[in-house]
A and B are shown apart, each in its own frame.
Chain A
Amino acid sequence: MAVLNLVEAVRETLRAEMRRDRDVWVVGEDVGKKGGVFGATLGLFDEFGPERVQDSPLTESAIVGVGIGAALYGTKPVCEIQFADFIFPAFNQIISEAAKMRYRSNGAWTVPMVIRAPFGGGVHGGLYHSQSVEQYFTNTAGLKVVVPSTPYDAKGLLAAAIRDPDPVLFFEHKGLYRAVKGEVPETDYIIPIGKADLKRDGSDITVITYGKTVHFCLEAANQLAREGYEALVLDLRTLLPLDREAIVAAAKKTGKVLIVHEAGKTHGIGAEVSAIIAEECLFDLDAPVQRLCGPDVPAMPYAGPMEKFFMLSPEKCLEAMRTLAKF
Chain B
Amino acid sequence: MEATTKARHEALGLSREQLLEMYYYMLLTRRIDERLWLLQRGGKIPFVISPQGAEAAQIGAAFAFRRKHDWFTPYYRDLGINLVAGVTPREIMLGAFARGADPASGGKQMPSHWGNRPLNVVSGSSPVTTQLLHAVGIAQAARMRGDDIVAYTCCGEGSSNQGDFHEALNWAGVHKLPVIFMVQNNEYAISVPLDRQVAGGSVAARGKGYGMPGIEVDGTDLLAVYAAFKTAHERARSGQGPSLIEAKCVRITSHSSDDDQRRYRSSEEIEAIKAKDPILKARAYLYEHGILDEAQEKELEARVMAEVDDATDYAESQPYAVPEQTLRHVYKED
Contacts and interface: CB of A to CB of B under 8 A. Distances in A.
Interface string A72-115: 11110100000000000100110011001111111111100000
A65 B130 contact: yes
Interface stretch (B14-22, B140-148, B196-204, B225-233): B140-148
B294 to A, nearest CB: 43
Interface string B165-179: 001101100100000
Interface of B: 71, 73, 103-106, 108-109, 113, 115-117, 122-123, 125-127, 130, 132-145, 151, 163-164, 167-168, 170-171, 174, 325, 328-333
Contacts of A61: 133, 163-164, 167
5 contacts: A61-B167, A65-B132, A66-B168, A105-B123, A142-B331
B103 A108 contact: yes
B134 A97 contact: yes
Nearest to A95: B127
Interface in A162-215: 165-166
Contacts of A51: 143-144
Interface stretch (A3-11, A52-60, A148-156, A298-306): A52-60
Given A57-B170, A106-B108, A73 B71 contact: yes
Nearest to B130: A97
Contacts of B123: 101, 104-105, 108-109
Interface residues of A, number: 43
Contacts of B328: 106
A264 interface: no
B125 A67 contact: no
Nearest to B167: A62
Given A97-B125, A104-B123, A69 B135 contact: yes
Contact of B330 (A25, A57, A70, A142): A142
A107 B151 CA distance: 22
A254 B227 CA distance: 74
A133 interface: no
Given A56-B171, A96-B125, A102-B330, 6 more contacts: A69-B134, A69-B141, A74-B141, A104-B113, A108-B115, A109-B117
